[in-house]
Structure 1
Amino acid sequence: MNNAIHAPDWVPATGHQLHLTGVYFDAVRIEGVRGELVAARLIERADGDAGPIVCEVNGFRWMYFLLAPGEGRRHQWPLGVRQFGGRGVRTVTYIGVPALDGNTWPLRWYSEPTATAPYVDAEALCQATTVTGREVRRGTA
């Protein structure tokens, strides 16, 4: 495992910056506790190398899973999971990306991009959202 932090050119040097989805990455958004459970499951399964996951630290505490461009539209996402970016999408969406260091409030990295995981694996994310959704509905999460 090589989990050394990797800084793609779309990660700002300081603060945070908005990026148009579908250009540098697609994004999948999940709210609050469910998003945290999905992220924790991905990180555990990837032995700590899950790829870029951005967390909003206030409000709804959205979790943004950053996928390779075009990957979001290839999967059927469960209810409560929102996909941004990709061809055929008529809406324009910008996602905030924090720097790897320093003050990035209200965003932070839940999992940083690495050389071996520059993006979240879309297939693994789809599986984790489906399983975690069932667990949340049953109250076993």
Structure 2
Amino acid sequence: MTNKKLPEWVPVAGHQLHLTGIHFDAIRLKGVRGEAVVHHLISLTAGEPGPVVREIAGARWTYFLIPPGSSKEFDWPPGATCFGPAARDHWVGIPAAEGNTYPLSWRCGSPEEGEYVDPELLYGLVRAQLAWEADSDG
């Protein structure tokens, strides 16, 4: 069992949907793009990127949880879907800290109370990733 003080929005078992813009905003990236951004976040934060939820089936989405209200401070590019206070009725699945949470899991371990992904750092990485992809295509 973990010794962390978990946020109230992390369920005890399984997974649970939470409305964005209340406890957190979320930035969603698909598949390999999300994994690439997580990899860079991990290397830039000494392995502590903040709460990142991944879907391990289907579209393999990655959700980066940032402080509530902070998503509106940035003009997120196409390919990065913003779930925040300006978005209506967007829900994100949150897995428990441990146990069977399929198809969701914490990419780098469950968060501690008050812990979030740094939105400014995330924004820079997302922009760089999408710019790199555009350069690779052309």
* TM-score normalized by the length of structure 1: 0.88
Q: How does 1:129-140 map to 2 (within 5 A)?
A: 129-139=126-136
* Pair 56,75 (structure 1): closer, same or farther in 2 beyond 3 Å: same
How far did residue 111 of structure 1 move?
A: 2.2
How far did residue 135 of structure 1 move?
A: 2.0
Bigger shift: 111-120 or 128-137? 111-120
Q: Deviation string for 1:19-60 (max 9, x for gaps)?
A: 000011000000000010011111110010110000000111
- Contact kept, 8 Å, 1:113 with 1:119, in 2: the verdict is no
1:67 aligns with 2:66: yes
- Secondary structure of the corresponding residue to residue 111 of structure 1: coil
C-alpha RMSD over aligned residues: 1.9
Task: Give the percent of matched residue pairs that are identical in Structure 1 and Structure 2.
Answer: 41
Structure 2: distance between partners of 1:96 and 1:116: 18
Partner of residue 39, structure 2: 40
How far did residue 112 of structure 1 move?
A: 3.0
- Contact kept, 8 Å, 1:54 with 1:110, in 2: the verdict is yes
Aligned residues between the structures: 135
How far did residue 6 of structure 1 move?
A: 4.6
Partner of residue 21, structure 1: 20
* TM-score normalized by the length of structure 2: 0.90
Partner of residue 110, structure 1: 107
Structure 2: where are the runs of 5+ without partners?
none
Structure 1: where are the runs of 5+ without partners?
none
